[in-house]
Amino acid sequence: MEIITHKCPNCGGALTFDPSDQKFHCPFCFSIFTEEEVSEFEAKQQDATLVNETLTQTSTTDPPPEETMQLFLCPSCGAEIVTDETTAATYCYFCHNPVVLSGRLSGDFLPNKVLPFKIEKEAAKEKFLDWVGSKKFVPTDFYNEDQIEKLTGVYFPYWVVDAKGQGEISGSGTSIRIWRIGEIEYTETKQFAVHRKGDFRFKDLVKNALSKNTQQKMVESVQPFPLENAIDFKNQYLAGFQAEKRDIEYQMLAQGVETELKDYAGTLLKNSVNSYTTFREKNRDLSLDSIENHYMLLPVWLVTYRNDGSDDVFYYAMNGQTGKVSGVLPISYKKLGLVSGGIFAILAILLMIGGYFL
């Protein structure tokens, strides 16, 4: 497993990706580089064969099994970095330099696309405080200084599916017309043989590729993502952020995806039958001519929180491109009790005043 810190071409400091200008910044000499400049510099520093094996290698064999937790050494300071088996980019907690575990995003695990962060951390912090500030009964610990610093930009793995197909449905349509002449009501019922046929195309169906249930809910809560902004993957975009690699293969999802697409296509055809009082479907024939899948990393700002003595995990998540936010927040029963007590006290005073004047 190769561990990478992307170095500044001028001073050798650790580069980080800045969402505000989509460029790479050195915090030591304050140099700024484009992705092309960083890639060109790194290509000159490495043997072409090593670059090819590390970044563009494809493999026909299954990856070797990995332990649940793994230990690496930071290439900048030598400190130990402990990660779980799906982490692909993180920080060194000693020197704070970003590191990329490139072997976890190479070969069969090399993403096709990445949707870079567009919202920088300071803006993410401000939005987090604004959002939490509107929630009256959230514990102060959820948004104190230490908690805010835990706000982390994470790239999550997803399968993105495009498909083409065709289908047809047939059934019986009923048209009912009712009118009245004088005291007599008339009803006219007509039966029709109905047939609908069409081609359909689906684009950017997003399916989770990580089995961690909590993280899955976090990402789904801030969808959709503007996938048209995705670019070809380069691991430089991970510098300064955390990243997860997939642990769900597309083959595990293929049958469910096909069923989902066919069901949706059938619904579209059925919804086109809208000129009848009732419609009863009798036959359906749907087929997919092509299905293409792409492995993509999507950006989310994330902070989690656990109450003392509780296994419940609360979280705040924000779409790293659009700024859409969501969360499952804890409740401070102390704050709730103070407010309830205040309301009770006010009511008691009002009742006493009302009784006095009576």
DSSP assignment of 138-192: --GGGGSHHHHHT-EEEEEEEEEEEEEEEEEEEEEEEEEEEEEETTEEEEEEEEE
112-125 mean pLDDT:
92
Query: Residue 236: pLDDT band by 50, 70, 90 thresholds?
Result: confident
pLDDT over 70 at 144, yes or no? no
Lowest mean pLDDT among 85-99, 233-247, 256-270: 85-99
Q: Is the dihedral of CA 33, 34, 35, 37 positive or negative?
A: negative
pLDDT of residue 45: 72
Q: Count CB neighbours of 335 within 10 A.
A: 14
CB within 8 A of 188, min separation 6: which ones?
Answer: 176, 177, 178
C-alpha to C-alpha distance for 112 and 332, rounded to whole angstroms = 44
> Where would I find the H helices in 175-314?
213-220, 250-271
pLDDT of residue 357: 45
107-128 mean pLDDT:
89
Structure tokens at 166: 């065709």
CB within 8 A of 57, min separation 6: which ones?
Answer: 106, 107, 110
pLDDT of residue 338: 46
The more confidently predicted of residues 123 and 55 is 123
C-alpha to C-alpha distance for 23 and 37, rounded to whole angstroms = 10
pLDDT of residue 349: 58
**Residue % of the chain over a pLDDT of 70:** 66
pLDDT over 80 at 247, yes or no? yes
pLDDT over 70 at 176, yes or no? yes
Query: Residue 230: pLDDT band by 50, 70, 90 thresholds?
Result: very high
> Collapsing DSSP states into helix, strand and coil, what is residue 224?
coil
Residue 208 bridge partners (DSSP): 158
174-190 mean pLDDT:
92
pLDDT over 70 at 41, yes or no? yes
pLDDT of residue 4: 61
Are β-strands 113-114 and 278-306 bridged in parallel, bridged antiparallel, or unpaired? Answer: parallel
Structure tokens at 113: 């696309």
Query: Residue 76: pLDDT band by 50, 70, 90 thresholds?
Result: low
Q: Which residue has the tokens 């993509």?
A: 296
Question: What does the domain layout of the chain look like in residue ranges?
Answer: 1-110, 161-206+249-295
**Residue % of the chain over a pLDDT of 90:** 35
| Half-sphere exposure of residue 14: CA atoms within 13 angstroms, side-chain side | 21
> Where would I find the H helices in the chain?
35-45, 48-55, 121-133, 145-149, 213-220, 250-271, 333-357
Q: In angstroms, what is the C-alpha Rg of the chain?
A: 28
pLDDT over 70 at 299, yes or no? yes
Per-residue burial over 259-286, b if 16 or more Cβ lie within 10 Å, else e, is: ebbbeebbeebbeebeebeebeeeebeb
C-alpha to C-alpha distance for 35 and 47, rounded to whole angstroms = 19
pLDDT over 90 at 67, yes or no? no
The contacts found for 225-228 with CB under 8 angstroms, 24 or more apart, are 225/115, 225/298, 225/319, 225/321, 225/322, 226/115, 226/321, 226/322, 227/113, 227/115, 227/160, 227/296
pLDDT over 70 at 69, yes or no? no
The more confidently predicted of residues 143 and 34 is 34
| Half-sphere exposure of residue 2: CA atoms within 13 angstroms, side-chain side | 13
Q: Which residue has the tokens 């500030």?
A: 133
pLDDT over 70 at 109, yes or no? yes
225-231 mean pLDDT:
94
Chain-centroid distance, C-alpha 52: 29
